[in-house]
Amino acid sequence: MKSFGMSSVPAGDEPLRALGELAEQAALWPGGNPEAELLPRLRVACNLPGSPWRLLGTEVQPDGVYAVDVVHSRPRSAALFADAIALLAAVAGPVFFVRHADAVTIDCVTGTLARDTPEPAHGYTLRLRLRDAGTDSTRARAAVRLVVPVPVSVR
């Protein structure tokens, strides 16, 4: 795995700098209690009127990732990824990164940066595991990419 050094980030690129800090500090986070800190907020977000989410269960995996099993009411919707970001925002700290890893997995790293708090920096890695996602999830993911294009750097 290639290391991400802060010296490689341009001085004016604050979002990328914050993402790099989040990645570097994640290894130093003390063990938290996601069942106490995150689960109540996930339940509230899933139970809001109009929420497309149904919470099935959670587990802390051996690597410390907080896995959250959910069902989306519209698994073939192009809004799936946007809905996932909205759900994760309910538990997110001041900095968070979301990645649509595959058709049924959405990963998130969220926390505070050491420079933003007098307390020790802390955070979590979450993994939404989409259950009953349907066979069209890959197509929905492709549609999301068309709606929200990812900038490509030009050399």
Proportion of the chain above pLDDT 90, given as a percent: 35
- pLDDT over 70 at 103, yes or no: yes
List residues bridging with 60 in a β-sheet.
Answer: 66
* The model's pTM: 0.72
One-character DSSP codes across 18-69: HHHHHHHHHTTPPP--HHHHTHHHHHHHHHSTT--EEEEEEEE-TTS-EEEE
CA 138 to CA 3: how far, in whole Å? Answer: 30
Question: CA-CA distance, 17 to 35, in Å (whole number)?
Answer: 30
CB 79 within 8 Å of CB 96: no
Domain assignments of the chain as residue spans, ordered by start = 15-147
Q: Considering the domain 15-147, what is its CATH architecture?
A: 2-Layer Sandwich (3.30)
Confidence of residue 128 (pLDDT cuts 50, 70, 90): very high
22-35 pLDDT per residue, tens: 777 777 777 778 88
